[in-house]
Amino acid sequence: MCPKTGMKLENLSLTQNATMKDMISKWCMQYGITIQDPSMQPDVLHLSTSIAGLGSYINDLRFPLDISNISLRSLDSSYTSDGSCDKNGDGLGLASEQNSDYFCGYQYSNNASKMDLESLSGLAELDWESQYKIVEDLKNHLESNDLACFFLSSENFIEPLIKFLSSSHDLHDIRASKAGFQLLSTYLNQYRSGIRYLNEDVYNLLSIFRDSEVTKEVLDIMEVLSCQSSCRSKIAASAAIVSIINILDSKITVHREQAIKILRNLSSSTDVCSNLVRLECIPNFVQFFQDTTLARHCMVVLRNLCRNEEARASIAQTSGCFGFFIILLETSSHEDQEHVLDILLSLCSQCAEYCRLVMDESDIFAALFYVSVNGSEKGKASALELLRLLRVTNYDDKKQECLQSDHVIPEDANDYAKNKKSHKTLFGVKLPTFSKSIATKKEEMKPSLFALD
């Protein structure tokens, strides 16, 4: 039973930690959530922990339910000193004897997989076809066994694999390149701590292969790496961002969503934002606003870029951008509405001119009123704040117009007329000379003002 919600679990089957970790990581990638880099934590997975120690640890835990009828100490006795299963005891105590058989078989499988993985260190000594066969077999093995990667030595795995990929490029062997990148992608997805062992050679390879027949495999790896804050600047330094933006410009649509996802992740870094702005990528996003899925990712990128003044100016100057923002406010989900409002607030709170550009869109007030009534709590608050900013700007503009048209100092009128000759009009009508009295000037202006009506 969940100690927080009090809900009773419907499924009591065991789920491996690695599987749960993979599910959490994929969920975070899907919703653009950045979690603390696990590679910065001590790599305890490679420490040798005895089953007996694990049993003692579990018995020290305080569970919120009665487990007095479950034998946890049987963990100590269920394994003999040589690592084999003792089927005569209570097994694991948490399940039936059938589960004990499962763990025995699983332990044997892991020992076998460890031997297979360690053989990669001598990969370069084999002929090319044998190298490809081992990489392909190892890829299939990792895909079918979520925990196999935890038993390999990353130092002896990454370097031979990178040499293999480099050779596949020199030999123009697309088949081998695809297998190698798929193996690396599977490894990184299952074992995020292995990212720490990637050096500049890996990022350079990604840059070399970015425009090739293995683009999909390269993007898979870059999407994983872009979720890690420690990798974003390295991706930017490898010139891979240029290729990702080129994907958005190309007529090939199959990789667009993945490319935008990578840019979304990269834009979380302030340093990378500066690179994106310099590459003038913002106008490229407008073409994707009509696609709901792509628009959502684009909004996150633009929201992150708004921390940069040049980016704000680029958004304001991009034709059609504000028009699409209004459409999204009226038709998109609450989450997307919040992204759009975050962008508009970033613009309007920084510059009155941006407020005027927003007000040039005739439907902006109706869209904001709609969100203020039907949006999420955050969306409602943001819409009301934006309405306030626009009204303040509109009021200041009206006030300034009145001051400019009515407040004239007679002593300086002649100098004002000389210096501002090109602006001596009011509503398109030429103003009279300022040598006469103010009362006389007003009388002369009346016919012209009425004539405008």
Length reported for the chain: 453
pLDDT of 40 reads 53
Greater pLDDT, 248 or 301: 301
Mean local confidence (pLDDT), 94-110: 38
**Per-chain mean pLDDT for the chain:** 75
Q: Is 308 helix (H, G, I), strand (E, B) or coil?
A: coil
pLDDT in tens, 180-200: 999 999 999 888 888 888 888
pLDDT score, position 432: 38
Q: What is the pLDDT of residue 97?
A: 40
Is residue 67 predicted with pLDDT exceeding 70? no
- For 282-299, what is the mean pLDDT? 91
Mean pLDDT, rounded, for 396-423: 56
What is the per-residue pLDDT for 108? 34
> Mutual orientation of helices 321-331 and 364-374 as an angle, nearest 10°?
30
d(CA 23, CA 195): 18
- Residue 452 has what pLDDT? 35
Instruction: Give 38's pLDDT tier (boundaries 50, 70, 90).
Output: low
Q: Under a CB-based contact definition with an 8 Å cutoff, are residues 99 and 92 in contact?
A: yes
Q: How far apart are CA 120 and CA 164, in angstroms?
A: 10
Distance CA 274, CA 269 (A): 9
> Which domains does the chain possess?
289-407 (1.25.10.10), 421-452 (no CATH)
pLDDT of residue 134: 92
Q: What is the pLDDT of residue 63?
A: 43
Give the mean pLDDT of 315-330: 92
Residues 51 and 30 sit within 8 Å (Cβ to Cβ): no
Residue 226 to residues 33, 172, 269, 284, Cα–Cα distance (Å):
12, 27, 10, 20
- Of 75-89, 140-154, 348-362, 400-414, minimum mean pLDDT range: 75-89
| The predicted structure's pLDDT at residue 218 | 93
Model confidence pLDDT, tens digit, residues 22-36? 788 888 887 777 766
Task: Choose the weakest-confidence range: 288-292, 303-307, 364-368.
Answer: 288-292
Q: What is the pLDDT of residue 376?
A: 95
pLDDT at 72: 36
Q: State the average pLDDT over residues 68-80.
A: 39
Which amino acid type is present at position 209?
F
Lowest mean pLDDT among 51-60, 88-97, 239-248, 410-419: 88-97
- What is the model's pTM? 0.63
Q: Which residue has the tokens 């990212």?
A: 195
Per-residue H/E/C for 344-358: HHHHHCCCHHHHHHH
Higher-scoring residue by pLDDT: 384, 146: 384
pLDDT at 11: 75
Cα distance between residue 251 and residue 126, in whole Å: 41
| Per-residue model confidence (pLDDT) at position 394 | 84
Cβ distance 149 to 142 under 8 Å?
yes
Beta bridge partners of 79: 85
Beta bridge partners of 85: 79
Cβ contact 255:265 at 8 Å = no
Tokens of 255: 């990789």
Q: Give backbone dihedrals phi and psi of 430, rounded to 5 degrees, phi first.
A: -65, 130
Tokens of 450: 């009425």
Nearest Cα neighbor of 376 from 333, 346, 343 is 333
Contact 243, 210 (CB under 8 A): yes
Contact between residue 85 and residue 122 where contact means Cβ atoms under 8 Å apart: no
Residues 284 and 293: their CA atoms lie apart, in Å, by 16
Mean pLDDT of 285-293: 89
Output phi, psi for 191, to 5 deg: -140, 85
Cβ atoms of 158 and 197 within 8 Å: the answer is yes
More confident residue, 15 or 8: 8
Tokens representing 135 are 């990489």
Residue type, 207: S
pLDDT bin (cut points 50, 70, 90) of residue 294 is very high
> Tens of pLDDT along 332-370?
999 999 999 999 999 999 899 999 999 999 899 999 999
Give the other-Cβ count within 10 Å of 40's Cβ: 11
- What's the whole-number mean pLDDT along residues 399-413? 60
More confident residue, 291 or 65: 291
The tally of CA atoms less than 13 A away on the side-chain side of residue 443 is: 5
Question: What is the secondary structure of 165-217 as a DSSP string?
Answer: HHHHHHTT-HHHHHHHHHHHHHHHHH-GGGGGG--HHHHHHHHHSTTSTTHHH
Please tell me the predicted confidence (pLDDT) of residue 331: 92
